[in-house]
C-alpha cells in the first residue's frame, strides 16, 4: 500500500518508520524535516512526572506509550546505528521551599491514587543520589519509571532509519490532501494540520528552552533528570551524554516565536536554586518551540474518512506519545482495531 505522510516531526517519522517496517511504500512530505517542536523538546519520557491535575484521559495514553517505547527504540536500531540518547536513569523531583514541599506531597499523593509509582526520599537521600542538589531543598521523590531520549539525536536517527527502511522524502509543502496520490494519508504536520483538515482547533503554545555545557571538572553534574518546583514554578534539568544540560521550559501563548528574556532569566534562576553549580556552566543556546495544543490538551488521533488518518495536537507530550502515535497510526492505516481506546482523541470532537 502507498502511504503519504504529511509532516516530518517525531510523530511523522516514527509513523513512517513503523509503516515501512510493516511493508508499506511510504512517502513523507515536509520542506524542513526535524525542525519543528521536536527540535526544541526536552525529550523526557515521563508518564508520572508529567501528570497534570484533571487530565485523567491522558494518563493511560502516557503510560501505554512509555511501555511501548523500548519497542520503538529497538525498531529504530534495526535500521540505523545512530544514537538516540535513550536513557533509563529515572527522575528526581524536588521542592525548593516549604510551600513547594506541600505542592510536591499533594502531587505525589495524586499520582499514587492513579496507580503511579513514586518513592518519597529525605533530602539527605536525594543529595546522596545527586550531590549537586542544593542543601536548601525541602523535599524530594524518586520516579524510576520516567526515562528520556535526546530529541535532536533521536530525530537524526529516525531520519536515517526511515531512509534505510525505504521511506521516500520530498521537500513539498502540501496545500491540499487531494494533491497526494497515496492510498492512505496520515496528517502529522503539527500546527499545519488545521490548514488541511477543517475542524481541528490547534493553537501554538511556546516554551523557552536552554542548553548549557558542564565544565569538565564538574562533569557529570547530574546523572538523571531533576525536576523541581521553585515558588510553585516547574523547572527541569536534563543531563546529556555530550556534557550539556537542557533546562526548561516555560509555557506561554503570546505568539512570540523567539526566546524571551524573562523566560531565560526565570529558568536560569530556578535551575540555580536547585543546582547551584549551574552558575559555573557555559551558556550554549536559548530557543523557543511552538507546541501544537488543543482545547483539552489531548491529541487528535483517529481516522476522519476512508483515506485519511489525523495524528497531531500532542502539545507537551509529543516525544513521550510518539511510540503510541506511531503504533496506533499504523494500526489505523492498516484498518486494525487500535490497541488502546482512542475515544478521547477523536479528531472531530471540536468540529
pLDDT, tens digit, 9 for 90 and up, residues 17-37: 999 999 999 999 999 999 999
pLDDT, tens digit, 9 for 90 and up, residues 260-282: 999 999 999 999 999 999 999 99
Q: What is the mean pLDDT of residues 293-310?
A: 97
pLDDT, tens digit, 9 for 90 and up, residues 319-339: 999 999 999 999 999 999 999
Q: Are 264 and 230 in contact (CB under 8 A)?
A: no
Confidence at residue 125, expressed as pLDDT on a 0 to 100 scale: 98
pLDDT at 351 over 90: no
Closest alpha carbon to 294 in 175, 147, 193: 193
Q: How far apart are CA 187 and CA 13, in angstroms?
A: 12
Provide CB contacts within 8 A for 124, sequence distance 6+: none
pLDDT, tens digit, 9 for 90 and up, residues 222-254: 999 999 999 999 999 999 999 999 999 999 999
Domains in the chain (CATH in brackets) are 2-84+149-201+294-345 (3.50.50.60), 91-144+204-293 (3.30.9.10)
Residues of the chain with pLDDT > 90: what percent?
Answer: 98
Q: Cell digits for 13?
A: 517519522
Q: Cell digits for 142?
A: 524518586
Task: Specify the pairing of strand 203-213 against strand 244-248.
Answer: antiparallel
Preceding amide of 147 cis, omega within 30: no
Q: Cell digits for 148?
A: 528520556
Mean pLDDT of the chain: 97
Q: How far apart are CA 265 and CA 327, in angstroms?
A: 39
54 pLDDT tier (thresholds 50, 70, 90): confident
pLDDT, tens digit, 9 for 90 and up, residues 144-176: 999 999 999 999 999 999 999 999 999 999 999
Confidence at residue 50, expressed as pLDDT on a 0 to 100 scale: 92
Closest alpha carbon to 318 in 171, 189, 224: 189
Residues of the chain with pLDDT > 70: what percent?
Answer: 100
Q: How far apart are CA 197 and CA 108, in angstroms?
A: 39
pLDDT at 52 over 90: no
Q: How far apart are CA 329 and CA 296, in angstroms?
A: 21
Amino acid at each position: 500500500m502507498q502511504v503519504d505522510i504529511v509532516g516530518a516531526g517525531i510523530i511523522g517519522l516514527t509513523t513512517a518508520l513503523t509503516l515501512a517496517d510493516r511493508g508499506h511504500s511510504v512517502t513523507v512530505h515536509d520542506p524542513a524535516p526535524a525542525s519543528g517542536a521536536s527540535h526544541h523538546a526536552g525529550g523526557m519520557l515521563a508518564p508520572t512526572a508529567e501528570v497534570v491535575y484533571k487530565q485523567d484521559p491522558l494518563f493511560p495514553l502516557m503510560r501505554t506509550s512509555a511501555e511501548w517505547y523500548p519497542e520503538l527504540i529497538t525498531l529504530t536500531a534495526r535500521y540505523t546505528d545512530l544514537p538516540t540518547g535513550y536513557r533509563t536513569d529515572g527522575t528526581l523531583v524536588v521542592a525548593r521551599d516549604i510551600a513547594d514541599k506541600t505542592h510536591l506531597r499533594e502531587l505525589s499523593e495524586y499520582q499514587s491514587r492513579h496507580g503511579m509509582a513514586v518513592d518519597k526520599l529525605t533530602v539527605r537521600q536525594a543529595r546522596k543520589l545527586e550531590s549537586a542538589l542544593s542543601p536548601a531543598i525541602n523535599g524530594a521523590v524518586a520516579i524510576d519509571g520516567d526515562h528520556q531520549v535526546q530529541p535532536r539525536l533521536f530525530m537524526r536517527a529516525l531520519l536515517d532509519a526511515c531512509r534505510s527502511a525505504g521511506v521516500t522524502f520530498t521537500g513539498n509543502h502540501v496545500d491540499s490532501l487531494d494533491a497526494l496520490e497515496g492510498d492512505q494519508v496520515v496528517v502529522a504536520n503539527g500546527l499545519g494540520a488545521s490548514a488541511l483538515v477543517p475542524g481541528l482547533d490547534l493553537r501554538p503554545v511556546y516554551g523557552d528552552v536552554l542548553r548549557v555545557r558542564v565544565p569538565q571538572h564538574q562533569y557529570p553534574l547530574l546523572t538523571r533528570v531533576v525536576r523541581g518546583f521553585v515558588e510553585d514554578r516547574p523547572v527541569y534539568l536534563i543531563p546529556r551524554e555530550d556534557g550539556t544540560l537542557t533546562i526548561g521550559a516555560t509555557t506561554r501563548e503570546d505568539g512570540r516565536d523567539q526566546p524571551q528574556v524573562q523566560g531565560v532569566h526565570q529558568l536560569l534562576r530556578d535551575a540555580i536554586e536547585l543546582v547551584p553549580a549551574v552558575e559555573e556552566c557555559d551558556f550554549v543556546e536559548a530557543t523557543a518551540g511552538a507546541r501544537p495544543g488543543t482545547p483539552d490538551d489531548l491529541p487528535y488521533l483517529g481516522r476522519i474518512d476512508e483515506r485519511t488518518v489525523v495524528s497531531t495536537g500532542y502539545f507537551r507530550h509529543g516525544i513521550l506519545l510518539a511510540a503510541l502515535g506511531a503504533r496506533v497510526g499504523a494500526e489505523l492505516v492498516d484498518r486494525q482495531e487500535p490497541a488502546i481506546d482512542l475515544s478521547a482523541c477523536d479528531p472531530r470532537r471540536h468540529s
